Amino acid sequence: MDLHPIALCLENLKDEVTTLVQNESTLKETVDKLQTELSAFKRAYSDVDAELRAAKLALDEAEVQNAQLKDESARRHGMGNRVVMLIDGDGAIFSTQLIAQGHKGGHAAALRLADYTTQTLIENYGQRAYQLWVYVFFNKQGLLTTFRRSGLASMTGKFDEFVIGFNEATERFLMVDVGGAKEAADAKLKGYLEDEIRLSETFKVIFGGCHDNGYVANLHSQITAGFKDKLIMLKSYDEIAFGIEALELPTLTIPELFMPRKLSDQQQQQQQTAVKSPQNASFALPGTPREMDPKLPVTKQKPAPCIAFYLKKGCSAGSSCSFCHDYVLTPAQRDEFRKAVKKVPCPVANKGKQCHFGEECCYGHVCPTQANCFFLKKGTCRFKHESMHTNPA
């Protein structure tokens, strides 16, 4: 019997509903199964995460123990106690009193250097088994020539003996003639500085090149590389080169070990004192004295006079200075020069730092026009720091 169309439709709907119910049941079973698997994965992940944390903790503990073992090994074997001193022997020249003693003086210089350096290290960094290595690089022929020109010809016969005495004082001290090539000693020092400061066993590098701004770039490079704490500057001349001083590194001074000034500058000072005339109070300098062009102010002379030579304690560059040391200055010209230089800002004070020369500094610590400075309003005044435009009390 044929079903009525409506009945047939209902029958078909019944079949579809039955199929949907069956599919829903299957999907439910699938979801339940997936949830079970997800829970299992979560438990597995939790277990693996716990194991990973435990492994990381064990690794951290192992690294700590490894560092402790390295420290212990370093203490046991003297690692990290190496102190290397690098000296530019063409500039940091041992005192004439020591060189004049020949072999005995070289030995005495080595002992004085070792004792004072070790004592200073202990006072500042504590008691350790310091191992001091000293390298002095110099141009022998150049030094002997300088001795003769400076009236110290007697030193030439003692210098070889002095070097032998220095080298024999201890197995880790070495004075080396690098030959007459231009800046050969500089190249040696720069190379040794680059190598020695990066060694893990090197505790400190004491650099004896305070007289020469030519080392600034190399020192600055090591500071940028993160080795500032390893650097100590060894002072030879009374004055440190300005660029070196600006690095603000700790400084070691060993009394009466080096000449306080460059030989050529000492000779100039002696000759300057010898030819000082009380009648006109003018100062004749060695070499070929020059008169200043009266039509030009002191600062416009060509070549320009050296500020350090005339207004400070002396120029560390000596004969290699690009400014003139040969002018004959009257007191009026010297005073004019001093006032003109005061219009140049002190590089240290300009950065807001304390200049250790204070009122004796030859450069200006205050803008000449102070708060009324026209260039200050435009932001172009050479006196940068705000304190330099304050009217003094």
In sequence order, which residues have a C-beta less than 8 Å from that of residue 331 and are 6 or more positions away? 281
Here the contacts of 284-287 (C-beta below 8 Å, separation 24 or greater) are 284/328, 285/325, 285/326, 285/327, 285/328, 286/326, 287/325, 287/326
pLDDT of residue 163: 95
User: According to the model, what pLDDT value does residue 274 have?
Assistant: 37
Does the pLDDT of residue 165 top 90, yes or no? yes
Residue pair 210/236 in contact (Cβ under 8 Å)? The answer is yes
Residue-level pLDDT at 240 = 85
| C-alpha span between 134 and 196 (Å, rounded) | 12
- The CA distances from residue 346 to 132, 243, 343, 382, in Å, are 38, 13, 9, 10
Nearest to 188 by CA among 199, 204, 202, 177: 177
| Confidence at residue 286, expressed as pLDDT on a 0 to 100 scale | 42
Sheet holding 202-208, edge to edge: 173-177, 131-138, 82-88, 202-208, 231-235, 251-253
Rounded to an integer, what distance in angstroms lies between the CA atom of residue 85 and that of residue 200?
16
Cis peptide before 303 (omega within 30 of 0): yes
pLDDT digits (tens, 9 = 90+) for 173-215: 999 999 888 788 889 999 999 999 999 899 999 999 888 888 9
**Mean pLDDT, the chain, whole residue set:** 81
C-alpha 97/C-alpha 140 separation (Å) is 18
Local structure of 91: helix, strand or coil: coil
Residue pair 200/79 in contact (Cβ under 8 Å)? The answer is yes
For residue 84, report the phi and psi dihedrals to the nearest 5 degrees. Answer: -110, 125
Answer for the pair 284, 328: CB distance below 8 angstroms, yes or no: yes
Per-residue pLDDT reduced to its tens digit, 47-62: 888 888 888 988 888 8
Alpha-helical regions (H) of the chain: 5-77, 96-99, 103-125, 140-149, 156-169, 184-196, 216-222, 242-245, 263-274, 307-311, 331-341, 374-378
Q: Write down the pLDDT at residue 83.
A: 95
Taking residues 318-322, report their average pLDDT: 67
Segment 110-163, tens digit of pLDDT:
999 999 999 999 999 888 889 999 999 999 998 898 888 877 888 888 999 999
